[in-house]
């Protein structure tokens, strides 16, 4: 299992992770980066597009992190927006 961290920083989405494919491909992007950026876009769909930057770094799961549940329907998306806006 490889953990990936997507962290917004202004106009940049910093994606940190470490996997053999990243090391083997001379630090080029791997499918984990693509998946993480797509998941972030689905989760924060109202934000403008961000430039993707990657960092090869081992991610250690922290006890205070919360899982992100993605909404499936438009009703759920609107409900999520109203909850986060308040």
| Closest of 30, 37, 39 to residue 52, by C-alpha | 37
Mean pLDDT computed over 2-25? 84
Q: Residues 20-70: pLDDT tens digits?
A: 776 666 656 678 888 888 888 888 888 899 999 988 888 888 899 877 766
Note the pTM of the prediction, 2 decimals.
0.67
H or E stretch covering 38: helix 31-43
| Closest of 7, 12, 9, 10 to residue 57, by C-alpha | 7
CA angle 23, 58, 43 (to 5 degrees): 100
CB atoms near residue 4 (< 10 Å): 19
Residue 72, pLDDT above cutoff 70: no
């Amino acid at each position: 299992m490889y953990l990936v961290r997507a962290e917004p920083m202004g106009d940049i989405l910093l994606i940190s992770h470490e996997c053999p494919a990243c090391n083997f491909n001379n630090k080029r992007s791997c499918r984990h980066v693509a998946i993480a950026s797509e998941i972030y876009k689905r989760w924060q769909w109202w934000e403008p597009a961000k430039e993707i930057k990657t960092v090869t770094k081992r991610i250690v799961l922290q006890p205070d992190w919360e899982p992100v549940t993605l909404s499936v329907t438009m009703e759920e998306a609107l409900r999520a927006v109203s909850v986060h806006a308040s």
